Amino acid sequence: MQKERIMFCPLSSGSSGNSAVCGFGPGFDNALIDIGLSCARIVEKLKVLNMRAADIKAVFISHEHTDHCAGAALFSKRFNVPVYASRGAWDALDANEQTEALPARNRKTFAYDEKIVLNDAFGVLPFKIPHDAAEPCGFNIFLNDKKISVVTDFGVQTDTILEHIANSDCLLIESNHDLNLLKNGKYPYILKKRILGDYGHLSNVACAETLAKVYSKRLKHVFLGHLSAQNNTPSLAYETVADFLYEKHIRAQKDFAFSVADRLSVSRAAYIL
């Protein structure tokens, strides 16, 4: 019997490393969504939540960029945990020699819109997103009758994304950059062009627009994630999104819990009853 209370918690979020834990909490079944930190750091962060590596039953990789998968192979080897990724992501990881330590038995491949069932109360559904990676994806996590969605590293909202993140109980969504800070900042032109493109990263305003389209009374927790250290600040992202939603008569912190996922530290967990 699984615990009734469901937990979602970003362990870190940003270009220095992304990872979140979701599931039924300490002593029960849980999964990591991305693991862009070392194995040792993941273990340390789980301890903050009174969790052990043994509580992690699976790792899901959104794409092959290092800030989303750096610790996957060693964590899988050390704790015998299966790692799920798309075929395109595996091919890219193999090409970059990032999978040598990964036990073959723990290498699992998924396809878009095919649900992975971890147990009768826990399923994960990957869906397509636009990013400059091989078969990148967001995730819907289904725990009992609750739905958690994680979607970062996408340059533009699509009908597929909107469809999948609608009717979520909890949502982690990218709010990567402020347009003015990025355009007037020190990044080289080619990098600015990449970030601003359809296969780059979502701005604060575009994040707000996406949230406004999918908001429903079912949504109780929102985390803004993957903020740029150079082209954004937590307060700017928070205020931009909250002000936009207020104009649409959606009140952050009153209609739903609203926070920015911490870049380096474990964020305050969301608990869903």
Sign for the CA dihedral angle at 238, 239, 240, 241 comes to positive
* Beta-carbon count within 10 A of 213 CB: 13
Q: What DSSP letter does each residue of 6-73 carry, written as one string?
A: EEEEEEE-STT--EEEEES-TTS-EEEEEE-S-HHHHHHHHHHTT--GGGEEEEE-S-SSHHHHTTHH
Would you place residue 189 in the very low, low, confident or very high pLDDT band (cuts 50, 70, 90)? very high
Residue 17 above 50 pLDDT?
yes
Sign for the CA dihedral angle at 129, 77, 122, 41 comes to negative
Which domains, and CATH codes, for the chain?
1-119 (3.60.15.10), 154-262 (no CATH)
> Nearest 5°: CA angle at 197, between 248 and 187?
105
Task: Please report the pLDDT score of residue 100 as a whole number.
Answer: 85
169-173 mean pLDDT: 98
Which residues, at least 6 apart from 2, have a Cβ–Cβ distance to it below 8 Å? 24, 28, 29, 119, 121, 122, 144
Residue 55 above 50 pLDDT?
yes
Task: Please report the pLDDT score of residue 108 as a whole number.
Answer: 98
Would you place residue 155 in the very low, low, confident or very high pLDDT band (cuts 50, 70, 90)? very high
Residue 1 above 60 pLDDT?
no
81-115 pLDDT, tens digit per residue, is 999 999 999 999 999 888 888 999 999 999 999 99
Task: Please report the pLDDT score of residue 82 as a whole number.
Answer: 98
Which residues, at least 6 apart from 156, have a Cβ–Cβ distance to it below 8 Å? 130, 198, 202, 206
Percent of the chain with pLDDT over 90: 96
For residue 109, what are the β-bridge partners? 85
184-213 mean pLDDT: 97
Contact call for residues 110 and 86 (beta carbons, < 8 A):
yes
For residue 11, what are the β-bridge partners? none
61-72 pLDDT, tens digit per residue, is 999 999 999 999
pTM over 0.75: yes
Task: Please report the pLDDT score of residue 2 as a whole number.
Answer: 53
